[in-house]
Structure 1
Amino acid sequence: MINALESFNYITPQTLLALPFLFGLIFYISAVVISNQRYRKWPFYRIIYGTVGILCAIIAVAGPLADLGHTDFTAHMLSHLLLGMLAPLLIALSAPMTLLLRTIPITLARRFTYILKSKTMRIISDPAITSLLNIGGLWILYTTNLYSMMHGNTVLHLFIHIHVFIAGYLFTISMIFIDPVPHRTSYMYRSIIFVIALAGHGILSKYIYANPPAHVPAAQAETGGMIMYYGGDAIDIILIFILCLHWFKSAGSRAFVKPTASK
Structure 2
Amino acid sequence: MASLPLLLPLHADPGNQPPPLTPERLLTAWTFEPWVVAALVLMVGLYLWGVRRLAVRGDHWPPGRTLAWCVGGAGTMAIALLSALGTYDTVLFSVHMVQHILLSMVAPVLMAVGAPITLLLRNLGALGRRRVVAVLHSWPAKVLTWPPLATALMIANPYLLYMTGLYPLTLSNEWLHAWIHVHFVITGCLYFWPLLGLDPMPTRLPYYLRMLLIFITLPFHAFLGVIIMGSPELIAEDWYLAFNRAWPPSPVEDQNLAGGIMWGAGDLISLVILAVFFVQWFQHSQREAARIDRQLDREERLAARAAASGYDAGKTPGQPPADEEHA
Same fold by TM-score greater than 0.5: yes
**65-74 or 54-63, which moves further after superposition?**
54-63
In structure 2, distance between residues paired with 1:174 and 1:198: 17
Point out where structure 2 has 5 or more consecutive residues left out of the alignment: 1-7, 13-30, 241-250, 304-327
Determine if the alignment matches structure 1 residue 46 to structure 2 residue 65. Answer: yes
**TM-score, normalised by the number of residues in structure 2:** 0.71
* The structure with more helix, counted as a fraction of residues: 1
**13-22 or 79-88, which moves further after superposition?**
13-22
State the Cα RMSD in Å: 2.6
Query: 2:236 corresponds to which letter in structure 1?
Result: A
In structure 1, distance between residues paired with 2:267 and 2:82: 25
In structure 1, distance between residues paired with 2:191 and 2:140: 16
1:31 corresponds to which residue? Answer: 50
| 1:83 partner SS | helix
Query: 2:263 corresponds to which letter in structure 1?
Result: Y
In structure 1, distance between residues paired with 2:86 and 2:11: 13
* Contact 1:70/1:76 (<8 A) preserved: yes
Query: 2:111 corresponds to which letter in structure 1?
Result: I
1:76 corresponds to which residue? Answer: 96
2:211 alignment partner, one of 180, 183, 191 = 191
Determine if the alignment matches structure 1 residue 232 to structure 2 residue 251. Answer: no
Aligned positions, number: 256
Determine if the alignment matches structure 1 residue 252 to structure 2 residue 286. Answer: yes
In structure 2, distance between residues paired with 1:140 and 1:250: 38
1:242 alignment partner, one of 276, 300, 308 = 276
Please give the per-residue CA displacement for 1:170-206, whole angstroms capped at 9, x wherever unaligned.
1111211111234212223222222111111111111
Point out where structure 1 has 5 or more consecutive residues left out of the alignment: 1-6
| 1:178 partner SS | coil
> CA shift at 1:240, angstroms?
0.8
In structure 2, distance between residues paired with 1:19 and 1:199: 37
* Contact 1:81/1:232 (<8 A) preserved: yes
1:169 corresponds to which residue? Answer: 189
**142-151 or 59-68, which moves further after superposition?**
59-68
In structure 1, distance between residues paired with 2:83 and 2:90: 12
1:213 corresponds to which residue? Answer: 235
> CA shift at 1:8, angstroms?
8.5
2:141 alignment partner, one of 106, 113, 121 = 121
* Contact 1:88/1:165 (<8 A) preserved: yes
Please give the per-residue CA displacement for 1:145-169, whole angstroms capped at 9, x wherever unaligned.
2111101112321221111111011
In structure 2, distance between residues paired with 1:193 and 1:8: 40
> CA shift at 1:135, angstroms?
2.2
CA 1:209–1:22 in structure 2 vs 1: closer, same or farther (change >3 Å)? farther
| 1:71 partner SS | coil
| 2:33 partner SS | helix
In structure 1, distance between residues paired with 2:32 and 2:191: 25
Structure with larger RCO (C-alpha < 8 A, sep 6+) = 1
Please give the per-residue CA displacement for 1:84-126, whole angstroms capped at 9, x wherever unaligned.
1111111111111111112233322220111111222222112
1:4 corresponds to which residue? Answer: none
CA 1:18–1:166 in structure 2 vs 1: closer, same or farther (change >3 Å)? farther
Query: 1:184 corresponds to which letter in structure 2?
Result: R
CA 1:137–1:17 in structure 2 vs 1: closer, same or farther (change >3 Å)? farther
* Contact 2:101/2:266 (<8 A) preserved: yes
* Contact 1:205/1:225 (<8 A) preserved: yes
